Each structure stands twice: as C-alpha cells, then as structure tokens.
Amino acid sequence: MAARAKKRGAVGYMISSVAELYKVHPQTLRLYERQGLLKPSRSEGNTRLYTETDLERLEIILNLARDMGVNLAGIEVILNLRDRMNQMQAQMEQFLRFVQQEIARGLPQGPAHPSKGAIVRTGESTPPRPHRPTPVRKP
C-alpha cells in the first residue's frame, strides 16, 4: 500500500492510523487482538502500537476474511499453521547449516563394520533367532 510506504520510518502505528489505512473499524482491530490474531505492542501510556510485522499479519488476516471468506476460527488455524511452518523452516535451515559445517570439517573415520556402534544394526550376516516361548510346567 502506498500510504504505508510513507510511514515506514515510524516505530509503531496507532490504532486510528491502522484502521484508516486498511479501511477497518478500530473495534475490528480490537476484536482481532482479543481473539489472539494480532498482538500489538503497547506504549507507556498503554496505547496500541502496530509494527510492520503486525501490519503484514493484518494484511493476511484481511485477505483471508475479505477475499476468501474465512471465519475467525479458520484464520486462527491458518495463522497457527503458518507460524509453525515458519518455525520448522528455520529449524531445517539451522540443521542444514550444521550438516554443511560437519561436512566441511570432514567426516570422521567410522568403525570397520558400519553397523557396529549404530543404534539399529543393519545387514547382519546371521539372521536373528526366532523367539521360543518358555514351556509351562504343570504341578
């Protein structure tokens, strides 16, 4: 939105500015906050201050509600899944960096037999013995 681009230098937007910018009633923003969809920060005077992240989230909420007809419960589920996916993506990126660092350091020489010291042994040369039930003695 062009109006938002002009205010990017601000630390936070007050509820009236956000409501006007996105053409929603301030009570709608308060409802989204009560439902846990938005979490604006607060000033020392307890005024809601919406950050760029809050505005991006609001755009998603409004898109889901206005354009796709999703109700608030559905929006909550979608946002929670989205947050979870972002967390998982960050974890995967962290894991990938770890693996790349380990490969760069060089792989240590493992044992001669690959299944030695493994959690689950594979490729055993002798098949496992079948379990035999213990006989029951009659008195």
* pLDDT tens-digit readout, 53-106: 999 999 999 999 999 999 999 999 999 999 999 999 999 999 999 999 988 888
Q: What domains can be seen in the chain, in order of their start residue?
A: 2-104 (1.10.1660.10)
Who has greater pLDDT, 8 or 17?
Answer: 17
Nearest to 18 by CA among 44, 41, 45, 36: 41
pTM greater than the 0.95 cutoff: no
With a pLDDT cut of 90, the percent of the chain lying above it is 61
Q: Report the C-alpha gap between 55 and 49 in whole angstroms.
A: 10
Nearest to 54 by CA among 89, 91, 87, 17: 17
Q: Report the C-alpha gap between 80 and 43 in whole angstroms.
A: 26
Q: Report the C-alpha gap between 118 and 122 in whole angstroms.
A: 9
